[in-house]
Amino acid sequence: MGEKPLKKLQVWKYQRRRLRLLIFLLRFPRLVYVLTRLLRFVMPGRETRSNSARRHSFSMIGGGLVRPADLKAMRYVYLDYLEYMDDLLYAEKGTWPVVWSEFNLSNEILRVLDVVMYVPESMAIMGHNMGTHTTVKIIEAAEREGLPTEFCSAGKAAIGAYLTHQAPKPDLLISSSHPCDSVVSSYQTLEYLTKAPLFSVDTPYWDDDGSVDYYADNLLELIGFLEDNTGLKVNWEDLAQVCDNINKTNALLQEYTEMARAVPSPCNLTCLLLGWQHSIAAHGTENGLKFAQMICENAKARLAKGKGFIKKQKIRVIWWDIPIGFHFLEPWLNRRFGAVTVADFMGRVNTSMIDLSSRETMIRDLARTHLNIAMARQLRGPAEFFTEELKRILEEYSGDCMIFTRHQGCKGGWAMGKLIRDVCQKADLPVLFLSTDSFDPRFASEQEIKREITGFFQNNGLA
Ligand code: SF4
């Protein structure tokens, strides 16, 4: 390749430096707001190797459209990210056991054990902050070892991160059989490569009480596996506290999700997706709760005044698939077309409460929340789990169009093409089926995707 190999954990060290600076600056959210407003005039429209990291990070903090009150809230999420990165970099010292936890497996149990948690797929999401080419390089490392192009790039980034020494050495791996075969097989590969013991929670296909009980039994087995292999004990009082935070956070984020039904929508996808990303790294923290409280209050204040997150909202987009991960498109959609994503597949929170009255109820309801997180909820069972939720959204969110990412790894999504098209046709809603890889721009570049969306809006009289 003629390129320098990445130094050990270089991606995380780089990101930690940048994150520290961002957290410092966000002590002054008004200043950051003004700076980002100005930056948008000089931010290049096209990605190059030298501007890729800057452009990506700029889009992820909202591209100059997020106001100071929401920026202030976002700082709480970044504080938890920093702790996550500190832990995984400190893990090298070997003080605590290191547990790798798959990104669809909610990790509150790990939060009450003295372990370092690392989410292997976080490389696919966060690696782009060091430039899209960095993540591609990591994905290519996995492909050189035999992972096929068609495999989910989140899984390839997870494996590539290990191969390129961008992940702390694991003592244990935990995963699940949801939401897809890519995840299952990527953990078999990681087990083979790392030689660390793997526990995979077996996910039921259905949603009935028996299925929930089955999953709850699996969670108890998972606790046994973690305790046996680390010599640590789950602190049930701490777990109740984490679950209490999860209840409060989810209730607020659910309210936020629902507020997006208003026209104009007072909500913004930058915050909602940040909430989802936070739940991957640090579900149930005090910081996560503060973030949810603040963005909810801010959106309520806008709603009370009849104000939208952006002033001129012309197109209401339903984005019913995973977002484009290598470049966050929402600021461009907002600015270029007055388009706002009012319902999205990943950020949308739609789950039940955890009953904290006993260990049994807590584990049973934790099982429910696990089965209800994004991707697991819609993709682990029959196609109706996906299409029925889509139908409800089409009824409730007054969308003008639907966009489906068609991430090349999501074979379930590809297979449902006809069903999705028919649901949208029945609702008389134009739908765009992109053809992308959410985390890998080699499949379709940012410019190609933007061209397709532009053409779609124009052809349907939306722009
Ligand atoms: S459901 Fe799709 S995006 Fe999620 S892990 Fe599987 S292939 Fe990747």
Binding site membership of 156 for ligand 1 (Cβ less than 6 Å):
no
Same fold, 10-232 and 237-459: yes
**401-404, strands of its sheet edge to edge:** 339-344, 315-319, 401-404, 431-433
**Model-level pTM?**
0.96
Binding site membership of 299 for ligand 1 (Cβ less than 6 Å):
no
Nearest CA to ligand 1 atom 6: 180
CATH for 10-232 (3.40.50.12160, 3.40.50.12500, 3.40.50.300, 3.40.50.11890): 3.40.50.11890
Distance CA(272)–CA(230), nearest Å, equals 35
Q: Ligand 1 pocket test: which of 125, 159, 277, 375 has the largest number of ligand atoms within 8 Å of its C-beta? A: 375
To the question of domain 237-459 being in CATH 3.40.50.11900, the answer is yes
Place of tokens 């407003």: 37
Domain boundaries, the chain: 10-232, 237-459
Nearest CA to ligand 1 atom 5: 183
Q: What is the pLDDT of residue 2?
A: 57
Q: What is the ipTM of this complex?
A: 0.98
Q: In this structure, what DSSP letter does residue 407 have? A: B
Q: Could you count the other beta carbons within 10 Å of the beta carbon of residue 151?
A: 21
Binding site membership of 179 for ligand 1 (Cβ less than 6 Å):
yes
In the reported structure, the alpha carbon of residue 23 is separated from the centroid of ligand 1 by a whole-number distance in angstroms of 31
Q: Ligand 1 pocket test: which of 152, 322, 438 has the largest number of ligand atoms within 8 Å of its C-beta? A: 152
Burial bucket for residue 25 (CB in 10 Å: 0-12, 13-18, 19+): middle
Atom number of ligand 1 nearest to Cα 153: 8
Q: What is the pLDDT of residue 1?
A: 46
Nearest CA to ligand 1 atom 3: 410
Q: What is the pLDDT of residue 94?
A: 85
Q: Ligand 1 pocket test: which of 122, 189, 322 has the largest number of ligand atoms within 8 Å of its C-beta? A: 322
How is residue 436 written in tokens?
């992308």
Over its length of 463 residues, how does the chain's per-residue pLDDT go in tens digits?
A: 457 899 999 999 999 999 999 999 999 999 999 999 999 999 998 999 999 999 999 999 999 999 999 999 999 999 999 999 999 999 978 889 999 999 999 889 999 999 999 999 999 999 999 999 999 999 999 999 999 988 999 999 999 999 999 999 999 999 999 899 999 999 999 999 999 999 999 999 999 999 999 999 999 999 999 999 999 999 999 999 999 999 999 999 999 999 999 999 999 999 999 999 999 989 899 999 999 999 999 999 999 999 999 999 999 999 999 999 999 999 999 999 999 999 999 999 988 899 999 999 999 999 999 999 999 999 999 999 999 999 999 999 999 999 999 999 998 889 999 999 999 999 999 999 999 999 999 999 999 999 999 999 999 999 9
